[in-house]
Homo-oligomer: A and B are copies of this chain.
Amino acid sequence: MKATLKMIAQALGVHPSTVSRALSGKPGVSEEMRAKIISLAQEMGYLPDSRARSLRQGHTKIIGIVIPDMGNPFFSQAVSAMEKVLFPLEYSFFLCVTEEDSEKEKVLLENLVSYKVDGILAAPVDRVKNTKLYKEVQKRGIPVIFFDRRLVTIETPYAVIDNRGAVTTIVDYLWKKGHRTLGVITLHRESYTGMERLEAAIERAKELKIEIKPDWIKDGMSTETGAYKAALELFKGSELPTALFVCNNVMALGVLRALKELKVKVPEDMSLVTFDDSFWNQIFEPPVTCVAQDPEQLGMIAATMMLNRIRYPEKKLEGVVLKTRFIERASVKDLTKARG
């Protein structure tokens, strides 16, 4: 049924501590006895109880990972990359999906603390909201590393991308192509990335005298469905921008769906630029121009930072900001040519 150290010990007439030493390869056990113990343990299907072990040893070898959405390939790829770094070192993972809900995030974080994870890799929901909680977590000695998003109110190592730079590139590109009006389908606004991307777009547009009417900014809620609805809503307006900036990959899907339904042609009737490069950007007709980030690199870096944090808790870690890559495809109309 289930085997414990004690049972193995009893069966062989030795003390549990001997069994423990034998199985964990520690010295102080005769080779003969060790062999007997190992073989019996095998036979009985012994697996140590991680709870008991970690209770005694003071670490769990579990890393908590907090993401807002696991259907988003960006996050699934980042998580995958983290696993690739940490799994070989025998770490396990507690994956927590907040669904952009700060309250749920709170419950999940408390769980992680309760289970005494060795560290937390998080893309927090809100750029400020759970500050106190995250601080608490750290005070309890659990290292936290932010990735993709971060809390702006707290000094913690992070790995994010250069959102402002990326958005500036996009707006500049649109300007060069002759666009003087712009709509934005935003992420969940209170998130770090949501705020950065929207603000940067507004800022750069202002500098270049590109108009962004308030009606042209619609909340896509970071989801396919949210963006679909937001796009439909936008197109109800009497006046439309010539280009649309969609703040992430799954929302791009939603916008494309809405445009198709409305029979709006890209790029003839509406130009499109999105954040993130997912497979569907390539197969859509026309292929979608975008800013690509590398989720795997992001995940790897964040995981590596975590390892450093665990090994050298005292060492100060700098935040990392990754560059993005602009990919020009065919979803933006060149208005300069069109005009003459």
Chain B residues whose CB sits within 8 angstroms of the CB of A49 once the complex forms:
55, 114, 116
Number of interface residues of A (CB under 8 A): 47
The stretch of A118-126, A136-144, A198-206 in contact with B is: A136-144
Q: Tell me if B283 and A260 are in contact (CB < 8 A).
A: yes
> Oligomeric state, in number of copies?
2
The stretch of A77-85, A184-192, A207-215 in contact with B is: A77-85
Complex alpha-carbon distance, A316 and B181, angstroms: 64
Interface: A320 (CB within 8 A):
no
Q: Tell me if A282 and B260 are in contact (CB < 8 A).
A: yes
Say whether chain A's binding surface is mostly helix, strand, loop, or mixed: helix
Q: Tell me if B83 and A76 are in contact (CB < 8 A).
A: no
Give the distance to chain B from A192, nearest Cβ to Cβ, in Å. 22
Chain B residues whose CB sits within 8 angstroms of the CB of A76 once the complex forms:
70-71, 76
Chain B residues whose CB sits within 8 angstroms of the CB of A94 once the complex forms:
92-94
Q: Please, which residue of chain B has its CB at the minimum distance from the CB of A51?
A: B51
Q: Which residues of A contact B (CB under 8 A)?
A: 1-2, 45, 47-52, 54-55, 60, 70-71, 73, 76-77, 79-80, 83, 92-95, 97, 110-111, 113-116, 136, 139-141, 224, 253-254, 256-257, 260, 279-280, 282-285
Closest 4 CB pairs of A and B: A95-B95, A71-B76, A51-B51, A50-B114
